[in-house]
Amino acid sequence: MKSENQNKIGTGKSSGFERMEKLPPLKMLLYVSMAGMGILFFILTLMFLAKAGADETGTTFTLPRLFSVSTVLLLLSGFFMQHSPSHYAQDNLPALRRDLLWSLVLGFAFTLAQVAGWYEMAESGIFFSDKAVGSFLYLLPALHLLHIAGGLAFSSYLFIKVNKAAADPIRTLIFNRDPYRLMQLQMLRSYWHFLDGIWVILYFIFLFAL
């Protein structure tokens, strides 16, 4: 009977949909939002490449050196973010607090490096109101930075919660037994890695298209 059921048409094909149905609503909302963000960045990147390819003025744009620095900072931030859910699962709040703190510090450093990169572009004569290619060099990083700000805000919220829980044994016990916190850390990690990937793609597109 088991083998007959396995051979029925459509059996096993709904496993993907079943997994989606079992996803918590917040995770589903996050994944849908990430898909929307990915489509937006994809469309804007195609527009940038089209403008860069159609630019016949011979104008050269130099990518700010601080964009390279900011890329390293964001990747390091993602490295520390990667281990956060594992630390929570192991009831290791000190390590979780340390990694969240480093991720936050590096995330804010990335933000400062990005803003400094815009000043570097302005000093070299590239302004938002100038040619379309130059405008995209401000628009795409600014849009990415807006999403980074959301991630930093939520990271700060979780860091405060972890810091308070680590200071009190009773709060630590309650905090470590809350599956909702683990889901929040997993969602934050997924979102942060998604933003890491978006920026790395943008960085190399800027690097080779200009």
Q: How many domains does the chain have?
A: 1
Q: Which domain holds residue 99?
A: 24-209
Q: Please report, for residues 37, 175, 185, the alpha-carbon distance to residue 178 in angstroms, rounded to integers and kept in the order given.
A: 30, 5, 12
Quote the percentage of the chain above a pLDDT of 90.
49
Residue 63: what pLDDT?
81
Residue 6 pLDDT exceeds 70: no
Residue 2 lies in a domain: no
Q: What is the mean pLDDT of residues 85-105?
A: 92
118 belongs to a structural domain: yes
Tell me, yes or no, whether 126 lies in a domain: yes
**What is the residue-averaged pLDDT of the chain?**
84
CATH, residue 62: 1.20.120.80
In one letter, which amino acid is 138?
A: Y
Range name among 18-32, 41-55, 89-103, 108-122 with the lowest pLDDT average = 18-32
pTM: 0.84
What would the mean pLDDT of 13-22 be, rounded to a whole number? 58
184 within domain boundaries: yes
**66 or 8, higher pLDDT:** 66
Residue 14: inside a domain, yes or no? no
Tokens encoding 114: 């990005």
How much is the pLDDT for 52?
77
Q: Residue 148: inside a domain, yes or no?
A: yes
- Residue with the bigger pLDDT between 30 and 177: it is 30
Residue-wise pLDDT for 136-176, tens only, equals 888 999 999 999 999 999 999 999 989 888 877 777 777 77
In a domain, 80, yes or no: yes
Residue 99 lies in a domain: yes
